[in-house]
Chain A
Amino acid sequence: MVPRANIDVERLLAHYRTMCRIRAFEEAAEAAHKAGQVTGAVHLSIGQEAVASGVCVHLAREDLITTTHRGHGHTIAKGASPAAMMAELFGRATGTCHGKGGSLHIADFSVGMLGANGVVAAGLTIAVGAAHALKLKGERRAVVCFFGDGATNRGPFLESLNWAKLFELPVLFVCEDNGFAAMTRTRAVSAGPGPEARAESLGIAARAVDGNDVAAVDESAAELLARVRAGQGPQFLLARTYRLKGHTASDAALYRAAAELEARKADDPIKRCGEILTLNGVAESRLASLAAEARGEIAAAVEAARAAPWPAAELAWADVQDVGAGRWR
């Protein structure tokens, strides 16, 4: 790897920090899951942090995102509090959703994060609907819709892209291609040349990028989001990355060779970002302290989550519906 010309060291350091925070969150969530403290399933985005950081760096608080079951990284990068998120995983009253959603349904509307989703491709229709509402209201905000490669084989993927293009909605579709559709290689269950070709077939400009190169993601997202904001309709980014963990924290991913995993670890986006930074004169110790700071923040989040109160049982009845609420026979 060679030092790049025009590298923005401060910007890359900010990415490094964001990615370290996501990584620390995911590692802590995995540990807490293994320890039985996080009771529900967690889907880790370890290895995919550059996509979240490279895209969300361009978003203001009032911009919107939808994400997936593997959405912790996007949520942190969008500005949600890791402490509230961790409390949500722990099922505590102080969680983003007061413990009612868990990892699969983390949401933080206060930072424009409209929800993770337990159903593959379900976030796409919601994202286009949010964008449709922005258009109706004449608001100039952007929507980013994160989804995985597995989602591209579901009907709502086609429907949503068609809809977004038909109504020229302000959406950036980000296909985070980690190679796996749950526990099956996506290419083994997909026809045709790939997601970007599917987008282009509907007249949506698509671009593929090395999703483990945070600077490349940043650059591509900048260009595509500028078009979205300029009213040029939906854009599509295919970010090729790799899931370093299993489908869930309980999945050892024995369906892939150990050698493959080892080879892909060399491509770890945080490691790659760190290498570029050191080649450009950033001291290793500075990177180490950023990583340590992130781990410290997340360790405090875990401690706070563990100490936080459980939600009162009555909360199970709250927010079901207004008409016909609270009936029990």
Chain B
Amino acid sequence: MALMSYLEAGKTALAAEMRADRAVWALGEDLGRGGVFGQYKGLVEEFGPERIVDTPISEATIMGAAVGAALMGTRPVVEMRFADFALCAVDELVNQAAKARYMFGGQGRVPLVVRQPIGMWRSSAAQHSQSLEGWYAHIPGLVVVCPGTPADNYGLLRSAIRCDDPVVYMEHKDMWGVTGEVDEAAPPTPLGKARLVRAGSELTLVAWSGALRAVEAALELLAGRPSLEVIDLRTIYPWDEEMVLHSVRRTGRLLIVHEAVETGGFGAEIAAVAAEELFGVLKAPIRRLAAPRIPVPYSPPLEAVCKVSPAKIVETVRAMVG
């Protein structure tokens, strides 16, 4: 076990996979300088500029080239800098990466990972703050991952790199400095399996990524009453229906908290499935707490309007349990 930051955990995972498999390489802007957040620092020294590739600011071609290179049997790790910039490469991700295997009748695979840092962080405003995991969950062919701890950033990135499907890998920018214990010898965290943060009996709270921090603060304020079962979904697609539905079957209450816009957000899918499957056992209406449907503004008091506060979680939990 080692204490490391969420950022170091990602870097350590990539380095481990690059040591283990010559086919793994990374490409993106400023990678030779360590990446925009330092999450690639030192890697070019170890692996050289052929495997830690500095690219032009050409998102479409970074992504499209990764598709071509993946079809040729390499395992590219694509860095998009900000999830917002990956929108310049949506054709390459959605029309090409996600569909190549299917359209071509299984002749090729696209084993790539595209890292798209998400979330609100230091007044980043409307074009550097979005959480678009729900968009990609909508696209057949893609796996969508949102690690919520250093241990999971280590374990899930390793699984994502080993996965033969294209994986949209969304680290939260406000979590780079979060530290935690990471077991480098542990097997990679399986994709599609949620993490039980704490067991409880009266309400199931599902969250992921940056929203987990507001949930943690809310748990402290609630001080154990009511009894919450907290689940970190961590893979958005395929999401762990089994764990979530099993939990809600016991608690009878479901609250979903995420940082993305509520309208059409992935919480809506979870709520719909729970309502379809468990209508008879629900003791309260399913609730969602998420961002309003406004662009993320710059000024801190305005940005705060987009964030789900611990106080709001506490209030909602108490209203649901009564």
Binding site for B on A (CB under 8 A): 66, 95-101, 105, 107-110, 114-115, 117-119, 122, 124-134, 136-137, 155-156, 159-160, 162-163, 166, 318-324, 327, 329
What CA separation (Å) do A122 and B50 show in the bound complex? 24
Chain B residue contacts of A320, Cβ below 8 A: 101-102, 140-141
Binding site for A on B (CB under 8 A): 25, 50-51, 55-56, 58, 60-61, 63-74, 76, 91-92, 95-96, 100-108, 140-143, 163-165, 191-192, 237-238, 273, 276
- Cross-chain contact A96 with B95 (CB below 8 angstroms): no
What CA separation (Å) do A117 and B68 show in the bound complex? 13
Chain B residue contacts of A163, Cβ below 8 A: 55-56, 58, 61, 65
- Cross-chain contact A132 with B65 (CB below 8 angstroms): yes
- Cross-chain contact A97 with B67 (CB below 8 angstroms): no
Chain B residue contacts of A96, Cβ below 8 A: 104-105
Partner of B105, one of A101, A118, A130: A101
Chain A residue contacts of B273, Cβ below 8 A: 329
- Cross-chain contact B101 with A319 (CB below 8 angstroms): yes
Q: Closest A-chain residue to B100, C-beta based?
A: A115
Name 6 A/B residue pairs within 8 A (Cβ), A-sorted.
A96-B104, A125-B92, A125-B96, A126-B64, A136-B50, A137-B72
Q: Closest A-chain residue to B96, C-beta based?
A: A122
Nearest CB of chain A from residue B253's CB, rounded to whole Å: 22
Partner of B64, one of A97, A122, A162: A122
Chain B residue contacts of A95, Cβ below 8 A: 105
Nearest CB of chain A from residue B318's CB, rounded to whole Å: 32
- Cross-chain contact B142 with A321 (CB below 8 angstroms): yes
- Cross-chain contact B60 with A109 (CB below 8 angstroms): no
Nearest CB of chain B from residue A219's CB, rounded to whole Å: 28
What CA separation (Å) do A326 and B273 show in the bound complex? 16
What CA separation (Å) do A221 and B90 show in the bound complex? 33
In the complex with contacts A96-B105, A115-B100, A324-B192, A126-B67 CB distance below 8 A: yes
What CA separation (Å) do A133 and B65 show in the bound complex? 9
- Cross-chain contact A136 with B92 (CB below 8 angstroms): no
In the complex with contacts A97-B103, A322-B164, A156-B64 CB distance below 8 A: yes
Partner of A132, one of B56, B69, B95, B163: B69
Chain B residue contacts of A124, Cβ below 8 A: 61, 64
- Cross-chain contact A115 with B104 (CB below 8 angstroms): yes
Chain B residue contacts of A155, Cβ below 8 A: 60
What CA separation (Å) do A126 and B103 show in the bound complex? 15
- Cross-chain contact A159 with B60 (CB below 8 angstroms): yes
In the complex with contacts A96-B105, A133-B69, A118-B95 CB distance below 8 A: yes
Q: Closest B-chain residue to A66, C-beta based?
A: B68
- Cross-chain contact B55 with A109 (CB below 8 angstroms): no
Nearest CB of chain B from residue A256's CB, rounded to whole Å: 30
Chain A residue contacts of B107, Cβ below 8 A: 97, 107-110
Chain A residue contacts of B191, Cβ below 8 A: 323-324
- Cross-chain contact A126 with B71 (CB below 8 angstroms): yes
Chain A residue contacts of B105, Cβ below 8 A: 95-101, 107, 319
Residue from A107, A118, A125, A128 whose CB has the most chain B CB atoms within 10 Å:
A125
Chain B residue contacts of A329, Cβ below 8 A: 273, 276
Partner of A101, one of B76, B95, B104: B104
Chain B residue contacts of A127, Cβ below 8 A: 68
The 5 closest A-B pairs by CB, nearest first: A125-B64, A129-B68, A324-B238, A129-B65, A97-B105
- Cross-chain contact B56 with A159 (CB below 8 angstroms): yes
Chain A residue contacts of B70, Cβ below 8 A: 129
In the complex with contacts A118-B95, A323-B143, A323-B165, A100-B65 CB distance below 8 A: no
- Cross-chain contact A129 with B103 (CB below 8 angstroms): no
Nearest CB of chain B from residue A112's CB, rounded to whole Å: 11
Chain B residue contacts of A323, Cβ below 8 A: 143, 163, 165, 191-192, 238
- Cross-chain contact A125 with B65 (CB below 8 angstroms): yes
Partner of A321, one of B55, B61, B67, B141: B141
- Cross-chain contact B95 with A122 (CB below 8 angstroms): yes
- Cross-chain contact A160 with B108 (CB below 8 angstroms): no
Q: A126-B67, A129-B69 are in contact. List 15 more A-B contacts (CB 8 A).
A: A95-B105, A97-B104, A100-B105, A109-B104, A125-B60, A125-B64, A125-B92, A128-B64, A129-B65, A159-B56, A163-B65, A320-B141, A321-B142, A323-B165, A323-B192
Q: Closest B-chain residue to A145, C-beta based?
A: B68
What CA separation (Å) do A327 and B140 show in the bound complex? 11
Nearest CB of chain A from residue B16's CB, rounded to whole Å: 20
Nearest CB of chain A from residue B76's CB, rounded to whole Å: 8
Partner of B74, one of A107, A133, A156, A166: A133
- Cross-chain contact A130 with B102 (CB below 8 angstroms): no
Chain A residue contacts of B51, Cβ below 8 A: 136
Q: Closest B-chain residue to A166, C-beta based?
A: B56
Q: Closest B-chain residue to A100, C-beta based?
A: B105
Chain A residue contacts of B56, Cβ below 8 A: 159, 162-163, 166
- Cross-chain contact B104 with A159 (CB below 8 angstroms): no
Chain B residue contacts of A101, Cβ below 8 A: 103-105
What CA separation (Å) do A318 and B25 show in the bound complex? 28
Residue from B105, B106, B107 whose CB has the most chain A CB atoms within 10 Å:
B105
What CA separation (Å) do A101 and B103 show in the bound complex? 5
Chain B residue contacts of A98, Cβ below 8 A: 105-106
Nearest CB of chain A from residue B100's CB, rounded to whole Å: 7
In the complex with contacts A100-B105, A128-B61, A322-B164, A114-B71 CB distance below 8 A: yes
Partner of A105, one of B55, B73, B104, B237: B104
Nearest CB of chain A from residue B274's CB, rounded to whole Å: 12
Q: Closest A-chain residue to B159, C-beta based?
A: A323
In the complex with contacts A156-B61, A324-B238, A319-B71 CB distance below 8 A: no
Nearest CB of chain A from residue B24's CB, rounded to whole Å: 11
Q: Closest B-chain residue to A329, C-beta based?
A: B273
Nearest CB of chain B from residue A10's CB, rounded to whole Å: 34
